[in-house]
Each structure stands twice: as structure tokens, then as C-alpha cells.
Amino acid sequence: MLPSRLPDPVPPARHEIAASYIGRLATLHGLNISTLWTQTTIREPSGGMRRIIVPERLAALTGRTVYELAGALPELRTPQPDWAMFRHQPQPGCRYCDTKHPGGEVTRIIPHHRYVCTRHQIWICPSDADGHTTRLDALPEIVQAQRRHLRILRRHGWAITYDAVLTAMLICGQLWSLPENENGEARNEWVRRANVLIPPGTAEATFSVARLCAVAYPEAVALAPLLASPYWRQQAQRTTWNRHLFNAEIARRLRHPNYSYKDHDNDPISHWANMIAKRPPLDPIRVHDQEHHLRKPALRTATQLAQQRQAHAFDPSHRAGAPLVAHRHLATVFRRAWDPIRRHVVSPDGNSYYQL
């Protein structure tokens, strides 16, 4: 028989998924997780197999108000949050923040714009094999980039910021994949940071695409406001001869003094200006689904093998951005880069849309 009220109802963590919180409560009290899950959930009214949380039951069990629980647990909010602004898969957060939450691993559903725990200087994105232990003490510009990222969010909202930062990350990965003399001074920074996070000779143990993402993050965040800005998007769409201002701004942000428009798609910035600047921001391909993602997924064997191959071949000074370009974290913007070109159409009633 389960108690109606737990003697030690620890609080939930911010953005924790309900299954993680209930699992920790069960562990702390020596209870069976399935039994506690059943006590706090009901079958969904539509008759499916899925069970949904009853906030009042969790409130009664913990002695905490529904309002207090919903402040930390997004699944308990009414109305439901816009799940598109969260990563679709739950993941661990900062392991140092988690030490104050007993009862086992804390699994969270994290918004797209959270890449760094600025308090503990830990890299927390994307979900990857390194267990979120990547310390950024020696790379304060990555922590600073998270603060700049939040300023972009406040100015443009989550959807434009999501698209701009991921697109900028893809562009940085593509630049880092070009021959050495074509990717500007940012490359020197990428090599330097990569040597800190993946010290030479240790790639077999330290390599992860999450760390490559951290390496390129400051330049991605420097580039993103330009990709998000309506003014610069307009400038980017002007004719080749009239793009001087846009090119100069790119050169300044990427410390790439010789940057100029190139009339081929090998230059990812020219490709963005020619093909993508006129398109609306993308929604994430996949959105959090409470039915299928109650727990964080384990890294698949195929993914682990791919990472081992990439680690073996890793050389930060030679086209090292390729694994970042191909990583699933950038899938939304990567697919668009290879999309058929769509035509911008304005209908008679004034609505603007894109047509294949």
C-alpha cells in the first residue's frame, strides 16, 4: 500500500520530465517506480495505452501545489507549452546543478536556446555520449556566447533564434570543412578550442560532436544576429555588386578580412544569401512527443561506431567541421540546404508563401 503523502517529497528540477521526477521520488522512498507511476497517472481519455499525469495526484503525494509543480515540470502546465520550442528528446542537464536533486539522474526537456550552464560553465548540448561533463573554464568565450544567444532570443523570439543559430552553426561547420586557406581567422580559434576540449592524442576518449559544436558556438552566435535580422536578410538578397555592406559585416563577424561573395555554392554564406535569406524560418523537424520520449534515448550502437570512426580520423586543422555538418542536431537546417529551390509567391489576397 502506497502512502498518501511521501515523507521526503524533494522538489522537482527545472524543466524535469514527470517520469524522471516520479522515478527519483520512488528511489528515494524505496518504492516501486511502476506502482508510483500508476498511482499518479491515468489512462488517456481517448482509450489509448498511454498514461497521463494527474497533477492533483502528484500534488497530494508531495504536499506541493499544482502551481509549484507546473513551474518546474513543463508537462503539468495548462495550457500545454509550445513543445516546438524545446528539443524533442529529453536529456541530462548540468551534472553540477543536478547534485542538489537526489534520487538518481535528472532528465530534462531543455529549450533550444540552452547550450551552457553559465553558473557551472558546463556544455549541455546537444545530447551526446559525453554525459555533460565538458567543462568550459578555459574557454570563457563559449560561456559568454550563451549570454549573447539569450539576447538574440529576447530580441527575435524563439523561432527566428532557433533557425538563425542552427543555420549559423551549419555555416561554421561548413567553413571548417573547407581547405585551410578558405575559412578565415575563425579557423585558428576553432583549432585552439578543439585542442583544449579534445587534447591532441586523446581523441579516442574525448572526441564528440557535442564538443565540436561547443568549439564553433561563439562564431555561430556572432553570425546569428545577422541571419535573424530583417535588414541584413534584405541586404543579403541584393545583387552581387550591391552586397558590399553585407560582405563587410560577414568579414567583421567571422574575422575573415578576405571574405567576398563567391559565385558558387561551395561558399555556404553565399549559398545562404542566394537561396535561403528570402525564406521564412524553419520549424524543428521533430517535436517533443510525450508518448515516445518519456526517457532520454540511449546512444545507438551505429552512432557510437560512427563517433569512433570520426574520433580516429579527427584532425582539428584539416576539414574538421564535417562531423558537425552531418550531425542530427543540425538536421532541420541541413535538409533545407539541399531542398529544391522554392518560388516566392504573393497571392491576390496579399498572402505571401513559397511554392515548389
- Whole-number minimum distance, CB 119 to Zn ion, in Å? 5
Cβ proximity to Zn ion: between 20 and 62 the closer is 20
Cβ proximity to Zn ion: between 32 and 99 the closer is 99
Cβ proximity to Zn ion: between 96 and 158 the closer is 96
What residues are paired with 177 via a beta bridge? none
Cβ proximity to Zn ion: between 136 and 212 the closer is 136
Binding site for Zn ion (CB under 5 A): 94, 96-97, 117, 119-120
- Whole-number minimum distance, CB 109 to Zn ion, in Å? 17
- Whole-number minimum distance, CB 212 to Zn ion, in Å? 22
Q: Answer whether 178's CB lies under 8 Å from 199's CB.
A: no
Cβ proximity to Zn ion: between 97 and 160 the closer is 97
Cβ proximity to Zn ion: between 98 and 249 the closer is 98
Residue of this chain nearest to Zn ion (CB atom): 94
- Whole-number minimum distance, CB 93 to Zn ion, in Å? 7
- Whole-number minimum distance, CB 89 to Zn ion, in Å? 20
- Whole-number minimum distance, CB 298 to Zn ion, in Å? 23
